[in-house]
Amino acid sequence: MGGLLQVFTGDRSLAEDFIEEVKGFLHLNQDIARYNSPIKKVAFMLTLIKGPTIAGWAHNVGNWLDTLNSTVNNIPAVWDQFLHKFSEQFQDSQKENRACNDIKRCTMRFPKVDDYIACFKDLL
């Protein structure tokens, strides 16, 4: 169930949204066995991570998955470890700076006060 997921190509500014989109998809499909296994979740994620700049990282994660025994190591810690490594690798270090710059450009124009407030809250 759910729409097609976007492919992640390494753009750090999109990493957090990518993970949240995948988590939403997995929550929606949690009653389907192939999406409920921590090892299969990671394998599924790897099918959505493509591009020359991140191929090496994805290859290394795939090699790590190959070392796991699906009957013994298929535990939630596998998924948690993957999310940690993904965040560590693709964390957007400029997120706060971009938000500050966007807040400076966010201006209120009558009668769109609600749009201004929503924009400011999102950036905050």
**Same domain assignment for residues 19 and 73:** yes
**Same domain assignment for residues 85 and 58:** yes
**Same domain assignment for residues 65 and 124:** no
How many structural domains does the chain have?
2
User: Mapped to the 3 state alphabet, what secondary structure does the chain carry?
Assistant: CCCCCCCECCCHHHHHHHHHHHHHHHHHCCCCHHHCCHHHHHHHHHHCECCCCCHHHHHHHHHHHHCCCCCCCCCHHHHHHHHHHHHHHHCCCCHHHHHHHHHHHCCCCCCCHHHHHHHHHHHC
pLDDT of the chain along its 124 residues, tens only?
A: 677 899 999 999 899 999 999 999 999 998 888 788 999 999 999 999 999 999 999 999 999 999 999 899 999 999 999 999 999 999 866 767 776 777 777 777 788 888 888 887 877 7
Using left for φ > 0, alpha for ψ between -120 and 50, and beta otherwise, residue 3 falls in beta
Q: Is the N-terminal amide bond of 52 cis, ω within 30° of 0?
A: no
Residue 32's domain comprises: 12-92
**Same domain assignment for residues 29 and 83:** yes
Q: What is the pTM of this model?
A: 0.73
**Same domain assignment for residues 63 and 73:** yes
**Same domain assignment for residues 73 and 107:** no
